[in-house]
Amino acid sequence: MPAPVSINKDLVAASSTPLVLAILAEGDSYGYAILKRVRELSGGELEWTDGMLYPVLHRLERSGLVETRWEKAESGRRRKYYRITEAGREQLADERRQWRTVDETLRKIFSVISECASDGSPISAPNRG
Amino acid sequence: MEALFPPPIGVEPMEKDAVDPAADALERQIDAWRAHLRRSRAITAPDAAELEDHLREQIASLGEQGLSEDEAFLVAVRRMGAIDALTREFAREHSERLWKQLMLSGDGESGDVEPSAAYGTREMWTAVLLAAAAAATIKVPALFGIGFDDDSAFYPLNISFFTLPFIVAYFALERPLPRSSRLTLAAAFALAAVVVNLFPFPSPAGGTQVADTLALTALHLPITLWLSVGVAYVGGRWRGNERRMDFIRFTGELIIYFVLIALGGGVLMGLTVALFGAIGLDVEPLVGNWILPCGAVGALVIATWLVEAKQSVIENMAPVLARIFIPLFTLVLVAFVATMAATGRGIDVEREILIAVDLLLVVVFGLLLYSISARDPVAPPTLLDFLPLALVGTALLVDALALWAIGARISDFGFTPNRLAALGMNVVLLVNLAGSAFLYIRFIRAGTPFARLWSWQMTYLYVIAGWAAVVAFLFPPLFGFE
């Protein structure tokens, strides 16, 4: 079993916007359910402090990427639901392109260095022709 | 930011005879947790409700996995994150909430989920309607041909009756004012209005000055009637120094807010004239006859409402100003006395000297009043208490010098109503300040309660209002309405 990956705080923060927007693109949701979904998707490896989700959601709301409404949940309590807006979808598409670029770039260089590693040649001394 | 380290959660004793002790304990734990959250201004009631919903969901889910309620609560709280970290995060996201916003009073304290827009709206409409009524009323005399710019002394004499009743009405509508107080106040205003308008002041025909006694009445009447506003302000319960001190605080804030609104109004009127001037229209008469008077009386009512609305939201400004200016005025007075002593210059006795010294005493009285209004009455004396004392001491010294200089020549001048009124006000304030200085020294040296100073000042309000009433109502007949 692989050791649990602990993800750097900056990376968690950077990925929170696309992640939340993408989950809301699946359908309207509320705080607890969003977190549950994050946990499912990451196999429990992307751990957020629960409370920190809310400032993120509020920031998205303020930027007009999501909108909110209060509804009565089956428990009888009032619950705040979030829905992605058109601007949110555009932002999500944009984020997607950015993350894909980062992902592809990293993949390429990672595959190069892993080939080097399997060759046995030193990683730290790049070939200067 | 307050309460960075909330006391540990979940240590409240459990009630033994509760119907369902476990559920009850959980509810109380959640209550305590919510209370900690709400201590930060960055977290509003809706935010707290949202977080609470999350917490309950989490507890329920953990409960299904077999944890006891206590355990589930602790795990859920831990997952939610430390409260101070959470509030810091909210504060970063909602920094505007750390600035107290008076107009956005939608943050219902009762824990309701949605911002209750109704909060404060009723008071606001009361104020707006009363302001409109005041603005309309001040133009009513125009229907009978009485303008602002003609020689008639109607407006100076009656300005109290166009302004103060609306402030009284605001309080009468906003707080339970006993019927007897309502009737007394209405009777007092009606009586005052009838008396001053029946005074047979000579009508200032064609360029002659208005009678001195009329000017004195116009000046002193608002001071007397202001006490009636105080009665309305305290809801008819005028007894008790605390309530009266509240009224003093209200007065200070009202002046500050009115001045602020007046500054804005000045800019508005200046721009109005300039804009219409740009298209070749002279709107100055319109501004002078309508916007200025209607705006001024309306602004007074609006300022009243603002002071009431912001009472618990924003720190009182008057004591802050008093704290800033007490040392500065003291310095100026000390420099003045020192210069007099060094150069040997005496006070040049002129007609205006009494007025100037009176104004000085009024300012010192105000500074002292507002500095003691903000002082914790049970705190022991500190070095800072010497500042007001020094101010009062030097002011008394300057006043004594001025009175001494005048005293030598008062018989040359003769006792005109103006001079007698100025002298009377001087004596009234002199006695007040001397008494305050005495009580201040007793407080610093002998530890007599600071509250004695309060009650001295609060009782003295009668003396000030009484003297103003004497000048307003007795001087005209005494001096033959001249």
Q: What is the pLDDT of residues B174-191, one digit of tens each?
A: 888 888 888 999 999 999
User: Mean pLDDT throughout B84-91?
Assistant: 83
Minimal Cα–Cα distance from B62 to chain A, Å?
A: 13
Minimal Cα–Cα distance from B43 to chain A, Å?
A: 10
Contacts of A32 in chain B (CB under 8 A): 53-54, 57-58
- Which of B52, B57, B64 is best to mutate for the A interface (most A CBs within 10 A)? B57
> Does the structure show a pLDDT above 90 at B112?
no
Q: Given an 8 Å threshold on Cβ–Cβ distance, is B51 in contact with A49? A: no
pLDDT, tens digit, 9 for 90 and up, residues B258-285: 999 999 999 999 999 999 999 988 888 8
- Write down the residue that tokens 């002193």 correspond to: B220
What is the pLDDT, as a whole number, of residue B151? 59
- Among candidates B432, B434, B436, B427, which has minimal Cα distance to B461? B432
Written as one letter, the residue type at B347 is I
Contacts of B113 in chain A (CB under 8 A): 70, 78
Q: Given an 8 Å threshold on Cβ–Cβ distance, is A51 in contact with B51? A: yes
What is the Cα–Cα distance from B27 to B15, expressed in whole angstroms?
Answer: 12
Minimal Cα–Cα distance from A18 to chain B, Å?
A: 18
* Distances from the Cα of B130 to the Cα of A84, B127, B354, B378, B415, angstroms: 45, 5, 39, 40, 43
- Considering only residues A74 and B28, tell me which one the structure prediction assigns the higher pLDDT: B28
This model of the complex carries an ipTM of: 0.79
In this prediction the pTM is 0.69
pLDDT, tens digit, 9 for 90 and up, residues A74-128: 777 889 999 999 999 999 999 999 999 999 999 999 998 887 766 655 555 455 4
**Over pLDDT 90: what percentage of chain B?**
33
- Is A75 an interface residue toward B (CB < 8 Å)? yes
What is the pLDDT, as a whole number, of residue A89? 93
Residue of B nearest to A47 (CA): B79
**What value does the mean pLDDT of chain A take?**
84
Q: At what angle do helices B417-446 and B386-407 cross, to 10 degrees?
A: 150
**What value does the mean pLDDT of chain B take?**
83
Give B397: exposed, middle or buried? Use CB within 10 Å, 0-12, 13-18, 19+. Answer: middle
pLDDT, tens digit, 9 for 90 and up, residues B211-227: 788 888 999 999 999 99
Those of residues 67-126 in B touching chain A at CB distance below 8 A are 79-81, 85-86, 89-90, 92-94, 113-114
Q: Record the tokens describing residue B423, joined without a space.
A: 């002298």
**Over pLDDT 70: what percentage of chain B?**
86
What is the pLDDT, as a whole number, of residue B481? 79
What is the pLDDT, as a whole number, of residue B376? 82
What is the pLDDT, as a whole number, of residue A47? 75
Minimal Cα–Cα distance from A98 to chain B, Å?
A: 24
pLDDT, tens digit, 9 for 90 and up, residues B392-413: 999 999 888 888 887 777 667 6
- Is A4 an interface residue toward B (CB < 8 Å)? no
User: Mean pLDDT throughout B370-376?
Assistant: 87
What are φ and ψ of residue B15, in 5° steps? Answer: -80, 130
How many cross-chain Cβ pairs, A to B, lie less than 8 Å apart? 58
Written as one letter, the residue type at A24 is L
Band (B420; pLDDT cuts 50, 70, 90): confident
